[in-house]
Amino acid sequence: MRIAVDARPLEERPTGVGRYLDGLLSAWLRAWPSDSFVLLSPRPVHVPASLEGRVSVFPSFALPGTIWLQTAAGPAARRAGADAFLGSLGILPLASGLPGVATVHDLTPILFPEWHSLKNRLGFRPFIGATVRRARRIAAVSEATRRDLVAAFPAAAGKTRVVHNGVEPEAPGPGGEAANAGRPYVLYVGTLEPRKNVVRLVAAMETIWDRRPEFPDLVLAGGDGWGMGGFAEEVARSRHGHRVTLSGYLGAGERARWLRDARVFAYPSLYEGFGLPPLEAMAQGTPVVGSSASSLPEVMGDAGLLPDPTSVPDIAEALERANDDEAFRRCAAVEGPRRAARFTWAAAAAKMRALFEEALA
């Protein structure tokens, strides 16, 4: 089969959905090399190294993303000879004429519109209902996301399947300077945006530093997202601002090295459709503090700690236990990789391909 893909997430510095496409399509082509993918986007597509020479990039009009998807993407997919369309961002081109499968990562533009820019809301909310009706099949990246989708759109129930994301432990990059100059650190990796709850994470660390000046530093690794204006300045002015490092985006090998060497990985998110960074940390054997919200208990199981993300004291208590409790740390070093190994891109690709076979039947 030949599948057209909304490839807008394949940016120079890919985040969640871009990395999803990298892992999914790479595993798919390893298992079914006779299938093919054509990547469509109104802006330049940065093809991951794992997909170079294995996918086609088809020219398309340079338009705003939502307008492009609903006007130019469908005709481009047909000109490229596609049999079906993958809506990687949860929305399909509604007039494409091709069978469509949408991947829904989360329902935050509907459930928590205050966490999104107007642009993001307008690109999702007006089209998700019609996508549910038009899609032949829908992939939800977790059972939590499937429940949210069906609660909002009951018509999704019969056509939605859970297809968990996968994780492939990355090899740490070559040497260089020691992470955090060799000082122990708690690490967060992800876009800095309201739902990631980094403001409460910083507050929890400060309550610990007030009592325990020797407690590890905090490193926040990730690009700036929407809705966090002034955050860096607030951190710099805080009473423990010198203990917090905003490192910016980490590339693959660098990210793996920082994950491996962290004393604790912290991800007390208020809502996740799946939650890939905690799973990547677990794959490295690093103790993880996640949260009790949405999909994180489903993904992390009992291999990490799951505090109430709305409670700064709960987050602080979990951080201290993850750092201090040697029995827990030994367990995390064993159970974390074991848990992460249950989520593979090979399994995700097999389930997605089955959905396309159903869609094309």
**At 289, is the secondary structure helix, strand, or coil?**
strand
| pLDDT tens, position by position, 187-209 | 999 999 999 999 999 999 999 99
**What mean pLDDT, rounded, does the chain reach?**
94
Structural domains in the chain, sorted by start: 2-166+344-360 (3.40.50.2000), 179-340 (3.40.50.2000)
Rounded average pLDDT over 322-335: 97
What is the share, in percent, of the chain residues with pLDDT greater than 70? 99
Checking if the pLDDT of 101 tops 80, the result is yes
pLDDT at 122: 87
Rounded average pLDDT over 312-332: 98
pLDDT at 281: 96
List Cα–Cα distances, 105 to 82, 146, 164, in angstroms: 24, 9, 10
Whether the CB-CB separation of 277 and 20 falls below 8 Å is answered with no
pLDDT at 251: 81
Look at residues 258, 300, 257, 305 and name the one whose alpha carbon lies nearest to residue 276.
Answer: 300
Q: How confident is the model at residue 169 (pLDDT cuts 50, 70, 90)?
A: confident
Checking if the pLDDT of 102 tops 70, the result is yes
Most confident of 180-184, 254-258, 310-314: 310-314
Q: How confident is the model at residue 175 (pLDDT cuts 50, 70, 90)?
A: low
Checking if the pLDDT of 39 tops 90, the result is yes
Measured in residues, the chain has a length of 361
pLDDT at 1: 96
Supply φ then ψ for residue 355, to 5 degrees: -65, -40
Checking if the pLDDT of 112 tops 70, the result is yes
**At 266, is the secondary structure helix, strand, or coil?**
strand
Checking if the pLDDT of 140 tops 90, the result is yes
| pLDDT tens, position by position, 63-88 | 999 999 999 999 999 999 999 999 99
Rounded average pLDDT over 324-349: 97
Least confident of 36-40, 61-65, 186-190: 61-65
Checking if the pLDDT of 250 tops 90, the result is no
Checking if the pLDDT of 172 tops 80, the result is no
Least confident of 58-62, 132-136, 190-194: 58-62
Rounded average pLDDT over 18-28: 96
Checking if the pLDDT of 171 tops 80, the result is no
Greater confidence (182 vs 170) lies with: 182
Structure tokens at 205: 């660390």
- Output the pTM of the full model: 0.94
Q: What does 70-132 look like in DSSP terms, one character per residue?
A: HHTHHHHHHHTT-SEEEETTS---TT--S-EEEEE---HHHH-GGGS-HHHHHHHHHHHHHHH
What is the share, in percent, of the chain residues with pLDDT greater than 90? 84
